[in-house]
Structure 1
């Protein structure tokens, strides 16, 4: 029988599911000082096979939380891809090995590093052991119908009954939450309990996956490799240590699938049988496994998207609860850790409509991409006998055209309340709606180099980047002083939406185009330098190895400058000239609450 909530059973956010998406959301919320509880039905964490293909944008996000170093240290960097097609004698032959990987948009983390993203997230949450509970499952969820409760930021309109599976009596408790997140897998209890439907299809494409240490004479075993053969298709991904991962296309008539249910029957499958298929595809090269299998599975590709990602802006679903797709492009970790589908940066709480409008479209775009990717990956290669097959030019073209989407760094959100491109021309190459492009600068105080992403941590604050131009030019300094006076008034967004102490909501940096030998950081007006680290220069470091050229790269005039607003999720929300601060005021007024009068 459900229990009544007690005063101690209240929490800001209840997260159902402690997989990669749930842990990422928890990290974001804990960093923001939000009280969190995570519950999961599993007794112990899953340590392999989940969200362990890490693309550059994922690493950027994790690094912004201080979580990227372990991934890069323990993972495997790969910069090159290789492509194989059927050979003239029935085996395979290499058709293309570029000297470096296909280049995507600039990233401060220029490589993919396959390694499960969850361990560092669990590490950072280990200091708060009370927020994670296993094995605990929800048995009911209720959401208030009261409009006053739903719009009141201090209300707890979500009520969830939890059951402890370790308890002999099946002890239950009722938790009241301001918000709830269901990150509880493709078979999400949360999604079903909220009657959220899914749209899409299950394909007939069957794939096996194995993580092994190989004994092989295949020359590209440590490269990201795509093999199209007459025996099927295989993708190889190098992993940490000597491990590799094979994705192997299985025959459509395999007995791994129960024909009555259409589901995979793992009692018929085995890693040895998957490796047999891999060996046939890779002929004439030899490949056998050494030692035990690290992990393996068999899956049928499903491509589905939930009809909605939120209910009454109080309960949200994330990760596989939102969508399912093939894992071969490594998009699981990208989309789970991406601010879009994990409530990263608490954007759903600040402005719930962001989550639904931006993230649902992203998920639909992902499924559209996955349909093309999976078909191209599974189709037979082009040959004399199969002229309609996939050519390597088509495959390379797909990779090149979709590289920004694959890596996660080319995602662009459409104009909306929180994406305003009215003044795009003043920063013509720093695209509003895209994540801020990383560049190297130097600190004005000591000329030490720093990447822009490293001074934009995920701390829940909106970043205000003031590109001041060359302040040694009198007109530029005059404009900067005038901007400071304008932004310092009570009508400015800093004070209207700063909740009484604007440094808690906004983080301001001043980036000058002045040469390092021509100014001191103290030359910048006090208003724009709350700390010495808040003044950067677009110039090279002392050795000329990095830095410089950012104004040109961003399309910002060194004479006129620009104001760039970076949302808490790292995406550019609005840009404006110095004399259009009112437009920035209106931008924030469209979705933020004004500070109460003292």
Structure 2
């Protein structure tokens, strides 16, 4: 008897952070999906740890940000140490780790294994999706897609469950409509597709250690860049009292070829102690250690055949210096997952999948460029160190490193409406993530973060900046807008859209029931929703956010803003311009 054949909408290969974010979208959309991983267990120690504020915003949209914050080490300040005029290691500079006001979340550090656990727990709540571990992938074949059949499963992946012998009874042929390869830098999926990684290997070798340190170095619980005559060191605080040390091994004796395989734990610790001299360093508890040589590469392509996609380290590799590996990898899946899911649910047209590479490749290219400069900065020695200014370096790259300035508009994405009237909301950037500000619930005066209404639930959000509704002419405009929205392409597709309204007038200026019923009655105008209309007014204690001013919206006229399921702004227009909104959605959504 031959291998059994099964059919699935989506197969995700790899259950690291990138694979699990893709799995989150699959569970949220209720897809028939599977997640397989060749390792018997999830990561428990080491690997990635940095979490940017934009990733925290994504976690918040998943409902796990609070759990991360409870355990993570928050990163508020960076210290720069180098030799002073007397040749002694001294603190030369202190800067903020994060620019003021960039996000309501602070960047932080928590182990990759714990992030994976939190994501997996969140996914399991839906009850349909679980990670299948210790599954070996044997072969991948792309069959010609029959465009006339929605049931076509063009990707064939042969797998075997380890631990049960080598017979056919443990081999399975999985036929999938789409496959996402999230299987790391040595991606099996990428190799099966015949895609190459282009780039170079930098001549820098670094050791990395997670430990509980006993030291008289005063900044051991802060992020530090230490540049000494004996080599450089990067100090990163971690959860549970640990610290991560990135130790430069260039120039350290590593055998005749200087290979990273020659490095030992003792080699790394000795180099760290030299870099920190005259401060002492002892290891009270060792958690994990490794050695890496810096390599910066990007894959030829991010997808093949319109049905197999790669995310994360499978398409870009770099050093861990910029703290972006896990973040950018998860953001790849955050960008791709809702698009694949929307296509599989027959909400979105298949061509939207082309936007994955057009939107994410520039991010990968920028990442490599920033990483190259960062590695050179951290590896500088001797006279070069005196000319290095950490503040200038961070300011030059912070917008990218934080993740909040990633923008799709300038690449002409089909999912960002280029004719948008961006002048109507000068504080909102078309193609960037929608900023969150505190608004006041119209029904009960409760302060609420706008982002809470943009949770990653698969729906597009139409944000109506309704303006000052105490004026009859503005209320009539809003009523006309609502009448047009009822007939719009978005609201005709059940479960695809949600409305969020923010007035520039106070709650007492017009009762909730004086507003168009569509705004507080759900999609069908019948079920009351007391959590969909908000006012830009002070809270009951007098604190005023002034959302209209921050978003650059005229309080007299208002405007209409549309956020994609990944919280990026896809459209900006006037309240009267629902026809343009329909044009935008006509190019995205399938016919009902």
The 1:153/1:441 distance shift into structure 2, 3 A limit, reads farther
Local SS of the residue matching 1:97 = strand
Deviations 1:75-134 (A, max 9, x none): 111211111111234331111124x44416621213323343212012223454863212
- 2:377–2:388 CA contact under 8 A, matched in 1: no
1:90 corresponding residue in structure 2: 87
> Which whole-Å CA distance do the structure 2 matches of 1:341 and 1:541 have between them?
34
Deviations 1:10-44 (A, max 9, x none): 11111111111111111121122112211111111
Q: Residue 75 of structure 2: which of 75, 78, 81 is its match?
A: 78
RMSD of Structure 2 on Structure 1 (CA) = 2.0
Question: Does structure 1 residue 56 correspond to structure 2 residue 53?
Answer: yes
Q: Residue 275 of structure 1: which of 269, 279, 287 is its match?
A: 269
> Which whole-Å CA distance do the structure 1 matches of 2:150 and 2:99 have between them?
45
> Which whole-Å CA distance do the structure 2 matches of 1:76 and 1:521 have between them?
43
> Which whole-Å CA distance do the structure 2 matches of 1:126 and 1:196 have between them?
33
2:430 corresponding residue in structure 1: 432
> Which whole-Å CA distance do the structure 2 matches of 1:342 and 1:199 have between them?
23
> Which whole-Å CA distance do the structure 2 matches of 1:89 and 1:330 have between them?
33
Question: Does structure 1 residue 103 correspond to structure 2 residue 99?
Answer: yes
2:307 corresponding residue in structure 1: 314
Question: Does structure 1 residue 373 correspond to structure 2 residue 374?
Answer: yes
Local SS of the residue matching 1:417 = coil
Return 5+ residue gaps in structure 2 as ranges: 523-528
1:328 corresponding residue in structure 2: 321
> Which whole-Å CA distance do the structure 1 matches of 2:565 and 2:416 have between them?
13
- 1:347–1:355 CA contact under 8 A, matched in 2: no
Q: Residue 286 of structure 1: which of 275, 280, 287 is its match?
A: 280
Q: 1:416: how far off?
A: 2.4
2:8 corresponding residue in structure 1: 11
Q: 1:398: how far off?
A: 1.7
Question: Does structure 1 residue 69 correspond to structure 2 residue 63?
Answer: no
Q: 1:4: how far off?
A: 5.7
Divergent runs of 4+, >6 A: none
Return 5+ residue gaps in structure 1 as ranges: none
> Which whole-Å CA distance do the structure 1 matches of 2:152 and 2:576 have between them?
40
Q: Residue 443 of structure 2: which of 442, 445, 462 is its match?
A: 445
Alignment of 1:487-566 (within 5 A): 487-489=485-487, 492-495=488-491, 498-499=492-493, 501=494, 504-529=495-520, 530=522, 531-545=529-543, 547-566=544-563
> Which whole-Å CA distance do the structure 1 matches of 2:339 and 2:387 have between them?
44
Q: 1:169: how far off?
A: 2.3
Question: Does structure 1 residue 362 correspond to structure 2 residue 363?
Answer: yes
The 1:209/1:342 distance shift into structure 2, 3 A limit, reads farther
- 1:137–1:163 CA contact under 8 A, matched in 2: yes
Alignment of 1:228-243 (within 5 A): 228-243=227-242
> Which whole-Å CA distance do the structure 2 matches of 1:2 and 1:191 have between them?
27
Question: Does structure 1 residue 399 correspond to structure 2 residue 394?
Answer: yes
> Which whole-Å CA distance do the structure 2 matches of 1:280 and 1:32 have between them?
53
> Which whole-Å CA distance do the structure 1 matches of 2:386 and 2:200 have between them?
23
Local SS of the residue matching 1:338 = helix
